[in-house]
Amino acid sequence: KHMNSGEGGFLITDDETVMARAVMLSGSYMLYVRHGTVPPAEVFEAVKYDTPNVSGRMDHLRAAILRPQLRALEGQCEKWNARYRVVEDGLRGTPGLTVVERAEAERYVGSSIQFLLLDWDGGRIAEVLKRCLARGVELKWFGGAEPVGFTSRYDSWRYAPSSPMPASDRILRGIVDMRLPLTFSLEDCAQIARIIRAEVGAVYQAQGV
């Protein structure tokens, strides 16, 4: 997610059949034994005749684009985290807003930040988003009834059955998200935090929660 060549993603599974099919789909042909990290041969025997080769793998051009990004990744992550910490520090202590505290042992990349307007009703959260947007700060909310952009929830996915999860639903209703691109300076991040703090505070004081 923190390197970009036009496509991305990865697959992790403990299901040997799923992994064997993924290797076949990637265009391994019958050369899968060269991979080095594949399931046993007998797993491939069970799937190789009915799994198509769609050559779903990275090409050399995209790999070349990624190589210099890989060398710079550690430094880029440090820059993201610096921006994250500026916004986090600026939001901490805002009335009605909960900062998501991170565990000391956690190593993270702060290319986005999430905070909670916990137990706020939807109208008040929408008002915060509206007021921030009017000042140039675009926030995304995971609590809306309809999926918007990338803010879909588990109950938006009608292709997969789900049951209500009250504790998770309470958190999802309050999650607000914002990207922190490296085009933002540290000063930009401090200003963004001030805007969010002011608008959350204004709605909180005016309407109560």
What DSSP string describes 42-70?
HHHHHHTTSS-----S--HHHHHHHHHHH
pLDDT band at 120 (very low <50, low <70, confident <90, very high): very high
Query: How confident is the model at residue 62, as a pLDDT?
Result: 84
pTM: 0.77
- The 10s digit of each residue's pLDDT in 181-202 is 999 999 999 999 999 999 999 9
Q: Is the pLDDT of residue 10 over 80?
A: no
How far is Cα 103 from Cα 172, in angstroms, rounded to an integer? 20
Higher pLDDT, 175 or 12: 175
Say yes or no: domain 72-207 is CATH 3.90.1150.10.
yes
The average pLDDT across 35-46 equals: 89
Q: Where are the domains of the chain?
A: 1-58, 72-207
pLDDT number for residue 194:
98
Higher pLDDT, 123 or 26: 123
The model's confidence at residue 71, banded by pLDDT at 50, 70 and 90, is very high
What pLDDT score was predicted for residue 143?
86
Q: Which value, to the nearest 10 degrees, does the dihedral of the CA atoms of residues 184, 188, 193, 195 take?
A: -120
- pLDDT average, residue stretch 168-186: 95
Let me know how many helices (H) and strands (E) the chain has, helices first.
6, 4
Residue 91, burial from CB neighbour count under 10 angstroms (0-12, 13-18, 19+): buried
Alpha-carbon distance of 109 to 112, in angstroms, equals 8
Question: How many Cβ atoms are within 10 Å of 147's Cβ, its own excluded?
Answer: 13
pLDDT of residue 89: 97
CA distance linking residue 19 with residue 127, whole number of Å: 46
Residue type for position 150: F
Contacts made by residues 161-168, CB under 8 angstroms, sequence distance 24+: none
Q: Please report how many Cα atoms fall inside a 13 Å half-sphere around the Cα of residue 113, on the Cβ side.
A: 26
